[in-house]
Structure 1
Amino acid sequence: MNKTVIDLSLTVEDNMPAHKLFQSPFYLKHLNHEDTKSLELGVPEDRMTFQTNFIGMLDHVGTHVDAFRHVNPDGTPVDEMPLDIFMGKAVCFDMRHIPDLGDIDAAEMDKAEKEAGVKVDGHIVLLCTGHHERHYPNLDVCWKHPGLTVDATHWLADRGSKMHGVEGPSTDKPTDNIFAQHRACRDLGISHYEWLVNLEKLVGKGEFEFFGVPIKFKGGSGSPVRAFALV
């Protein structure tokens, strides 16, 4: 059966918005086709020119996944986490009614699960809040995202969900420095994707396949991913 590929990843570009604690990336031309003519590569009648780019960024900018090491000094780094945790059956919950700086709690998860028609049992759970569509690329995207509560995080862990994903730079609201959701993930041994996009295309689709595999950074606290769904 043919499936549709839905890209869930934010385009990486120079000086894009980032979490309040993090530096925006540098994404610059290194060499271009005009510059490399002088290298006289190839043969006179068919010169080969090329382009390369310089990328300088933290491992938690753009669409990315948190390794267990991110908030736990004894946690597993991204290069040692099993690959199968970054892919598998998934469902997208419609949370677009949650306002800016609102809370996604366990009661909301219960309602969304019923509406999605998929009983969460080890699924990767993606939360569509419409945040990206409302705010990106305005810097409000860094300061108005909803937060996932501790009881909602336990709701996920109780149903065997090892990974979940949100729009915006964090699963915690930007208005405090408690980071209760990240600490709950640390204690429960689960993690999440941040800054996913196009989640509205998955609402109402039932169960689908999700992929968001990290770069194998030695000792990495996280990694950019090219996240996508097969529906």
Structure 2
Amino acid sequence: MIEIIDLSQEIYEGMPVYKDLPQVKMTIHNAHEEWNGIRNPATKTPAVHKLELGEHTGTHVDAINHMEIQHKGKSIDTMPLSMFYTEGICLDFSHKKLKELIEPDEIEKACSKADLKINQGDTVLLYTDHYRTHFNTANWGIGPGISISCARWFGEKKIAAFGVETMSPGVSGISNREVHHICGEMNFTHYENMVNLHRLLGRGRFRFIGLPLKIRGGTGSPVRAVAIFENK
């Protein structure tokens, strides 16, 4: 038997998005009443929705070409699928406060406490409890994040990706821009806006899947991220 834990936010009109990114719009494009020939129906039942949203909406992964101008061409559709299908671990940083940085020595301590090791090709998820505490509040955009040195440390570990609950992997105005640059330079990526990470704590390693849409030239993509445990 396997257990699949959903790590993804819902996508809906009016949901919070990062700064000046496109707002989500969702309208009924075709209704069943229309298809059934009913004129002027009192209500419309969706048969097809029209979605308007940015690539970096909800739980999503960044492409390398998003990180900096010199990575033009390294779009989401060119990245190997093996980057999005990995082993994963989740580390507890729920003690971190708003805008606090996570440093490499803290990652090592969290690994030691959880009796986990970061392997090459892993996806490392960082639980801060920011989603359950601050989602859709005034503090949603100012959560904790990794430091510049932590991003480089991850790159040296040759991980596939790391994931956070917040809207940005670093702290805006402190480390976020540089974290993106390092990801591009060292060819790894990150997931943002993750949920349910508390359900992964204390359970060891798992299979992580966060497959993106195959968007030609895309700078990122929403994903349906999941953690899979095989219960023997």
TM-score (norm 1): 0.90
1:13 alignment counterpart = 12
Letter in 2 for 1:207: R
2:66 alignment counterpart = 70
C-alpha distance in 1 between matches for 2:34 and 2:134: 38
**8 Å contact from structure 2 (residues 146, 175) kept in 1:** no
The secondary structure found in structure 2 opposite 1:79 is: helix
C-alpha distance in 2 between matches for 1:162 and 1:20: 26
Counterparts in 2 of 1:177 and 1:148: CA distance versus 1, 3 Å: closer
C-alpha distance in 1 between matches for 2:36 and 2:139: 43
1:210 alignment counterpart = 208
The secondary structure found in structure 1 opposite 2:139 is: helix
Counterparts in 2 of 1:211 and 1:217: CA distance versus 1, 3 Å: same
Match of 1:144 among 125, 131, 142: 142
1:45 alignment counterpart = none
1:195 alignment counterpart = 193
Q: Runs of 5+ in structure 2 lacking a partner?
A: 40-44
Q: Runs of 5+ in structure 1 lacking a partner?
A: 41-48
2:99 alignment counterpart = 101
Within 5 A, what are the aligned runs for 1:32-71? 32-38=31-37, 51-71=47-67
The CA deviation string for residues 47-86 of structure 1, in whole angstroms up to 9 with x for no partner, is xx86100111110110100000102334310001110110
Counterparts in 2 of 1:178 and 1:119: CA distance versus 1, 3 Å: closer
C-alpha distance in 2 between matches for 1:174 and 1:89: 29
Moved more, 22-31 or 117-126: 22-31
1:43 alignment counterpart = none
Task: Tell me the C-alpha RMSD between the 2 structures.
Answer: 1.8
Counterparts in 2 of 1:210 and 1:175: CA distance versus 1, 3 Å: same
C-alpha distance in 1 between matches for 2:110 and 2:196: 18
The secondary structure found in structure 1 opposite 2:69 is: coil
**8 Å contact from structure 1 (residues 8, 227) kept in 2:** yes
2:133 alignment counterpart = 134
- Runs of 4+ in structure 1 over 6 Å off: none
Report the number of matched residues: 221
Counterparts in 2 of 1:21 and 1:173: CA distance versus 1, 3 Å: farther
**8 Å contact from structure 2 (residues 59, 191) kept in 1:** yes
C-alpha distance in 2 between matches for 1:193 and 1:140: 20
Q: Percent identity?
A: 32
Letter in 2 for 1:108: E
Counterparts in 2 of 1:178 and 1:102: CA distance versus 1, 3 Å: closer
